[in-house]
Amino acid sequence: MSKRNFHPFLVIFTVSLVLISLNFFIIQGYAWEIDSTGTAYYIVDGDTLDVTSVGRIRLADIDTPESGDSGYAAAKNYLNSLVYNKEVYVDEDNKTGNDPNGRMVAVIYVYYNETHLKNVNKALLVAGHAVIYDFDNNEFNPYTWTLYVEYQPTPPPPPPPPPPPPPPPSEKPDLKDRGSDYSGLNTNQVSSGSSYFNIYCDVINIGNASSDAFNVYFLASTDSTITIQDYFIGSDSVSSLEIDSYDDVSWSGTFPSDIPDGTYFLGWIIDSADRIDESNEGNNNAFIASQHLLVDGTPPSTLITFTPKSGSNKIDKYTTFYLSCSDGEGSGVSSIFYKIDNELLIEFNDNFTLKNYYSGTHTISYYSVDDLNNIEEVRVLTINKIDLNYREISTRFNILLVLIAGILVFTFNIVIYKRLKINLKKVLFKNKHEKEAKERIMREEIKYDNDPLINSIVKDLLKCYSDNIIAIYGIGSYFEASLPPNWVKNDLDIILFVKSLDEIPKQDWTEIRYEKKEVNGNHLWLGFNTLEAYQDKNKFSKESFSNYEWNLIDMKHPENSKLLYGVNIQAQLPETDNLIFDYNDVLTRGLYHLEKSLKEKDIFTAMKECSKGIFKLGFYFCIYFDPTFRSTSIIEIGRKLQELSVNRKSIKSLVDFYEDAIIFRITDHYKTEFKELRSDLLSYIFSLLDQGVLHKKMG
């Protein structure tokens, strides 16, 4: 062949090769293979499906919207239209295989025509239902995909027909406990019928449908199997629970009185009435494995030990008395108290004798208190002291001297009787009057006689102001008997009603009479007021820093204060039926403590100031939404807030803050992270002011 004839042939051959190559890349575009086949029987979402003989497949290198996001339903429906109940050809990832959730990573194809298959991954991208999410850890490159690929005109023999696909899972909720990190209780020992108790947990819905309303029962059990037959503590309700969401549930209040003493497991039953049709009914029960609860409602028992001189109750000045106490399997003994005859109660710390007491009959009264404030009934021992102590001998000798002196004086007075008669009567009368006045102060009965600290404070006040005092009252949490026994009480507020303020010392900067001092680690506030000030609000403001209406409620209503000494003056105070509250002042007092909390560098002091602010805000909410409310008790304010929150959703958040403050006063810890709680509280209060929910609206 000549060169001239060879050139046209070479050109034609080269062009043909180029066209064949271009056609190969246009049609083929990338390497692919069929590793397995099966029928698509369940569409999970836009990029996940279940295939018979293969399992769950995650479409490689694309991403569609998640549940709840825009486009989720459209992507899922489009994938359903492409593959549901059809044979799919699976190109498995040979590099990594499965993703962290155990799903096969693959590109899948469906029949398009006799010569081509459709790339389902690419189809979702082309239709705009997915975006490329290219992972480096698999064999695929989404940028090289084509929508259609050639396949063998004569495919291999089809696999044997698969078994009938299982029915798609039914859409039901599945409620279960969220885990031990989200459950707990405020204390591990309580007294039935008196202790404050709080228990909480989280409930999560792991099913594929939302739930309706359900209840959660909290129970005490003698073993770790929690059943509805166990001792009922309390319950909480959840209105509904979306898929993959959770809710906090809790109960707090006075621990039930019908639960006997013993050690218990604490647990709960979710959907206790079995109203919710769940996909798994066997995971509704849970319990706290790390803690048990001691229930102790039984007071301790005290024993007095001594050796009598004769019989069963005759003693002398050397007889030693010893008090011991047992609380059995209970919470433990806190204190033993005793008194001799009608003296004040004192705490037992060491053995004692009656060497400084006269001969004759005496009584020793004694009782104990355990760590849960279970108080034993007072026991009384009657004894007969048969010796003469030094005081008695001295007294009798002095009586003898007085008799001798009396005879001498009488003889002498025969001579000068008339001249000294009047003067002698005056002297005797004066001495007798002064002696009785001093003895009256020292033996004055103090009504609050079971607290040595209060007795000491009142006794000191009587020594300083006895002639001026009308009455002494205790107010505030220290004197609130309904508080839990483990409530930290170290703030003492005492009000003295006096005849005149002139004799009371004052500070240089104010005319208001008050004292602040530390007493045995407690913060003592003494306020001095006259009865006249309670009749006139303007005069009261000149005698006290307190809010007039608040203080009047404290003093007028016996459940809000404790008479420690003197005359009950409540009948002399104005009625509180038609009080007009100064809401600005009450709200400011709550915000004042929150401001102090923000400025305080010591975290514990800041936490305490925040709790004070919450309690004062609670009182403000009560009197604003119910002006007839007349209690200053922390517990009663909490109950009122819960009652008000039923019809006023805006108060529900304050109830949560209030419960957190109560938990802090018992445990020294907030349930919520403190700084987050304080920030949320301030945002909550100012949002209510901004919305005009409270007595005034922020401008």
Q: Is 396 inside a domain boundary?
A: no
Q: Is 441 inside a domain boundary?
A: no
State whether 571 and 584 are in the same domain. no
The yes-or-no answer on residue 58 being catalytic is yes
State whether 567 and 686 are in the same domain. no
Q: Is 87 inside a domain boundary?
A: yes
| Number of structural domains in the chain | 5
pLDDT of residue 482: 85
**pLDDT tens for residues 26-59?**
344 467 889 999 999 999 999 999 999 999 999 9
Please give the Cα distance from 512 to 621 (Å, whole number).
Answer: 29
Q: Is 459 inside a domain boundary?
A: yes
State whether 184 and 229 are in the same domain. yes
Give the active site residue among 4, 33, 58, 515: 58
Give the active site residue among 92, 103, 278, 480: 103
Percent of the chain with pLDDT over 70: 85
State whether 455 and 565 are in the same domain. yes
Question: Average pLDDT for residues 654-678, to the nearest whole number?
Answer: 90
**pLDDT tens for residues 87-138?**
999 999 999 889 999 999 999 999 999 899 999 999 999 999 999 998 889 9
pLDDT at residue 429 above 50? no
Find the range with the poorest average confidence among 306-310, 448-452, 603-607. 448-452
pLDDT at residue 551 above 80? yes
pLDDT of residue 393: 47
State whether 545 and 468 are in the same domain. yes
Q: Is 160 inside a domain boundary?
A: no
pLDDT of residue 184: 95
Q: What Rg, from alpha-carbon coordinates, does the chain have?
A: 43
Please give the Cα distance from 368 to 429 (Å, whole number).
Answer: 46
Domain span at 322: 301-385
Confidence class for position 407, pLDDT limits 50, 70, 90: low
State whether 124 and 199 are in the same domain. no
pLDDT of residue 413: 53
**pLDDT tens for residues 262-321?**
999 999 999 999 999 999 999 999 999 999 999 999 999 999 999 998 888 999 988 999
The CATH number that applies at residue 568 is 3.30.460
State whether 609 and 665 are in the same domain. yes
pLDDT of residue 420: 43
State whether 574 and 589 are in the same domain. no
Token pair listed for 556: 């007028």
State whether 75 and 109 are in the same domain. yes
Confidence class for position 437, pLDDT limits 50, 70, 90: very low
State whether 199 and 144 are in the same domain. no
Reduce the DSSP state of residue 583 to 3 states and report it: helix
State whether 140 and 43 are in the same domain. yes
State whether 459 and 549 are in the same domain. yes
pTM above 0.75, yes or no: no
Boundary of a domain, candidates 260, 295, 330: 295
Q: Is 683 inside a domain boundary?
A: yes
Give the active site residue among 4, 56, 66, 436: 66
pLDDT at residue 495 above 70? yes
pLDDT of residue 401: 52
Q: Is 24 inside a domain boundary?
A: no
- Mean pLDDT value across the chain: 86
Find the range with the poorest average confidence among 213-217, 355-359, 585-589, 609-613. 355-359
pLDDT at residue 141 above 50? yes
Nearest to 83 by CA among 40, 50, 122, 121: 40
Confidence class for position 442, pLDDT limits 50, 70, 90: very low
Residues 6 or more apart whose Cβ sits within 8 Å of residue 527: 493, 494, 495, 496, 513, 514, 544, 546
Q: Is 9 inside a domain boundary?
A: no
Confidence class for position 356, pLDDT limits 50, 70, 90: confident
Nearest to 482 by CA among 563, 367, 559, 376: 559
Tokens 């909390």 sit on residue = 597
